[in-house]
Amino acid sequence: MTQNHIRFFDTTLRDGEQSPGCSMTHHEKLALAHSLADLGVDVLEAGFAIASDGDFAAISAVAQEVRGPRVASLARARREDIERAAKAVEKAARPRIHVFLASSDIHLEYKLKITRDEAIEQAAKMVALARTYTDDVEFSPEDSTRTDRDFLCAFVGAAIAAGATTINLPDTVGYATPEEYAAMFRMIRERVPGADRVILSTHCHDDLGLAVANTLAAVQAGARQVECTINGIGERAGNAALEEIAAALHVRGDSYPYQHSLRLDRLYPVSQQLAGTISFGAAPNKAIVGANAFAHEAGIHQHGVLSNPLTYEIMTPVSVGVPANRMVLGKHSGRHALRSRLEELGYRLSAADLDIAYRAFTELADRKKAIYDQDLINLVAHHQRHEDLISTEIREKAVG
């Protein structure tokens, strides 16, 4: 792969599933794994092998049955975790073990209760162990963005020296800003021996709503792998959303001149599959895959989109797998949208009749939040009955 290729590391089945309401059965995980492979993700983190027998079985099934992506299992920097992860992915065509160990002082002191020196020794030893099972080992200093910078460089350097091939710098708690996150990647590239030989990776959480922005900033600073989930599901406020990163790279190629292996027209179908699998779907206003992402109600917007979709849409719906844009009729809609929808329903009104129908439509829209096709049909039918009555009265008077 070239230096301009961005690897998509999907962790929907691991980090995504950890969020409340996102648990999946064995068969659901396997079905989604096949869809993610069809989407074109480069790495599929299938789970956390040591977590449960069920997770181990699901990872093993994905490793054995899904071809295309590298298949990874997460593992703490512990021998039992790494051995379990290695067993889970052993039948994968391209297995990866993803080792992590906290690096921030708050995690070292209160969670792990070890010193910085002990952390460096443990990380190096466990990365070396993982390399005895596979030549594809990723290492993550957990809570990188709240870690002392000098120590982070030493920590990452030890992991690279021990054989890590990918270094992930996670914003575990969603604390960083884009400028800070990008600067951290530049620092690692400049200060850590061997950093030029490994792939640098992002992993961002959305606690401040900056996960995608941070990811893109890191890409510009040299990251060549992005860790993300479908619909942005994940711990707390979620992870960076795969579909948003992919769309940004597509639409803003002027700022992000990178290649990737995703099939963008599969984004919406996979999003819908996930929504049907877990207990909730994407928010209506969710970028790219939300129900309103290509919906228009305001009259000025509707007129523009009917004339040329590019007036208010920066990508076509079909480019990300959405069947079509949607004109939502409501109190903000104009005559152009009403006429267009009536024509789709088979009614072609004269200018005078359209004015009458539009007045009746706006009166109804002030009373109803949602206007359905049947409401429009009733409006036209009522207008036509009214016209028929007037015509009958005129004929009767003429005869009389």
Model confidence pLDDT, tens digit, residues 248-281:
999 999 999 999 999 999 998 999 999 999 988 8
pLDDT in tens, 292-334: 776 544 554 555 545 565 664 667 777 888 765 555 676 677 7
Residue 381 has a pLDDT of 75
Q: What is the mean pLDDT of the chain?
A: 89
Do the Cβ atoms of 76 and 127 come closer than 8 Å?
Answer: no
Cβ atoms < 10 Å from Cβ of 18 = 17
How would residue 355 be classed by pLDDT, with cut points 50, 70 and 90? confident
**Tell me, what DSSP letter sits at residue 240?**
P
Q: What is the mean pLDDT of residues 203-208?
A: 98
- Which residues does residue 162 pair with via DSSP β-bridges, in sequence order? none
Sorted by where each starts, the structural domains of the chain and their CATH numbers stand as: 7-277 (3.20.20.70), 295-390 (1.10.238)
Tokens 């999003």 sit on residue: 271
What is this structure's pTM?
0.83
Q: How far apart are CA 6 and CA 258, in angstroms?
A: 7
Q: What is the mean pLDDT of residues 36-59?
A: 97
Structure tokens given for 52: 């449960």
Residue 336 has a pLDDT of 79
Helix axes 79-89 and 53-65, enclosed angle (nearest 10): 40
Q: How far apart are CA 301 and CA 326, in angstroms?
A: 12
Residue 96 confidence (pLDDT) above 50: yes
Q: How far apart are CA 99 and CA 130, in angstroms?
A: 8
Residue 393 confidence (pLDDT) above 70: no
Q: How far apart are CA 316 and CA 305, in angstroms?
A: 11
99-113, 138-152, 330-344: lowest mean pLDDT where? 330-344
175-189, 194-208, 386-400: lowest mean pLDDT where? 386-400
